[in-house]
Structure 1
Amino acid sequence: MDQSPKTAPIQEGEEYDVKIEDVGKEGDGITRVEGFVVFVPDTKVGDEVKVKITSVRRRFAFAEKI
């Protein structure tokens, strides 16, 4: 089981106002929350969006636009 690590500065369900800084290989927007990488589908560089964290992994997280 891949439990959410205690070291991640964010948790599932949290909401943040972020700015998309980069785009990943799969085309997802990339932002950082407290230095922690977050992938946000359906965004592009420069977008300023409110997101909700949907999944937290060891080194990165996924979020959705809300």
Structure 2
Amino acid sequence: MNNQEKSAPVTVGETYDVSIDDIAKQGDGIARVKGFVIFVPKTKVGDKVRIKVTKVLRKFAFAEKVE
């Protein structure tokens, strides 16, 4: 198990149902899973979406919206 897996409660390829509760400076929506920040492009505050994690870093992750 590497450090990424220990600190991140999400895994690449997994899907999660989340609420977008903030917007990043770049305009991506921000969701959280167990407090862990996930950036989700093409979303806005208040959206309730299903996401698929595409990349996990130490302090945050990226995901895409799943239709």
* Fold shared per TM-score above 0.5: yes
Amino acid at match of 2:10: I
Cα offset for 1:7?
Answer: 1.5
Q: For 1:19 and 1:7, how far apart are their aligned partners in 2?
A: 21
Question: More helix per residue: 1 or 2?
Answer: 2
1:14 aligned partner: 14
Q: For 2:7 and 2:39, how far apart are their aligned partners in 1?
A: 18
Runs of 4+ in 1 over 2 A off after TM superposition: none
2:63 aligned partner: 63
Report the TM-score when normalising by structure 1.
Answer: 0.92
- Over the aligned positions, Cα root-mean-square deviation in angstroms equals 1.2
Q: Is the 1:4–1:57 Cα contact (8 Å) retained in structure 2?
A: no
Give the unaligned 5+ runs of structure 2: none
Aligned residues: 64
Percent of residue pairs bearing the same amino acid type: 61
Cα offset for 1:4?
Answer: 6.3
